[in-house]
Amino acid sequence: MRTAPRLLLNTPDIELWPAGLLHARGSHDARLLSRARTVLRRKRDGRYLAALLPEGLMPMVERLAREPGIDEALQRLEEPLPRSGPPPETQLPLDRLNERLHRLGLDERYAARSGLPLVAEPAHLHFAGRDRYRRALWLTRTAARAWERLRAAAAADGIALDAISGYRSHDYQLGIFERKLARGLQVADILTVNAAPGYSEHHGGNALDIGTPGEPPAEESFERTPAFAWLQANAGDFGFRMSYPRDNPHGIVYEPWHWCHAAGT
């Protein structure tokens, strides 16, 4: 018997996670998570908001009812999934994007300047195994399957590949900017290594950063590894392409580790 696919149900502010895929942050969390089926998680900072237990919803923050986006998340929690087959591949609306850009002092001209398209978030994502840090890796169904096949083919050729990062939300991307700004970096500098919120291929669930054990994550030195040579020769057969080659027109640094499945282009 096949087990049901493990899904992340996505809403604009809150993600609904299978509880078994989250790490407990302390013994209280551990007790709750061990009994929970689903956990509501705030996208901006990853905070656990509530756990769905057999007896009902257990808030994990004060004033859960005032949490932005909670109504939509609770509604999603109650929507039944299709009884057979995966749910349709729909996307969330691209609302509040300008608000995010304005918070960084950017506006719509960023899109024209960078030539990067807006990337909507999928309404749900599929579990694609664990990343290098033992976190759940989320991708679209197509990209998850392609990554599984790519990794197995590499392993058969003696090449170990691991995932550094897959799906990331708009809110999470904004958090990256806020943390770097707090460390004193300028928006213009951050934009050479991170796309503005809404414009990262990671939002669509088809892109992933690939590494190989023993190599630091997301470093140009990855291009000198046998793993990179293998990807260059073979990733295309699995529908993956390198998005940011040297001197790409988007003003993004050379990223030999960042590959996107064709479903996202």
Looking at residues 112 to 131 of the shown chain, list those that interact with Zn ion (rule: CB under 5 A): none
Considering the complex, state which of residue 121 and residue 209 has its C-beta at the smaller distance from Zn ion: 209
Least distance from C-beta 209 to Zn ion, angstroms? 4
Q: Is 209 in the site for Zn ion (CB under 5 A)?
A: yes
3-state helix, strand, coil in the chain (%, to 5): 35, 20, 45
**CB of residue 205 vs Zn ion: minimum separation in angstroms?**
12
The answer for 243, left when phi > 0, alpha when psi is -120 to 50, beta otherwise, is alpha
Q: Is 162 in the site for Zn ion (CB under 5 A)?
A: no
Run of H or E including 16: strand 14-18
Task: Count residues near Zn ion (CB under 5 A).
Answer: 2
258 belongs to the binding site for Zn ion (CB under 5 A): yes
Best CA proximity match to 150, nearest among 135, 163, 131, 133: 163
**Residue 168 binds Zn ion (CB under 5 A):** no
DSSP 126-166: EEEEE-TTSPEEEE-HHHHHHHHHHHHHHHHTT---EEEE-
User: Is the CB of 12 or the CB of 264 nearer to Zn ion?
Assistant: 264
> Nearest to Zn ion by Cβ — which residue?
258
Query: For Zn ion, which stretch binds (CB under 5 A), given 21-29, 30-38, 81-89, 250-258?
Result: 250-258
Q: Which residues bind Zn ion (CB under 5 A)?
A: 209, 258
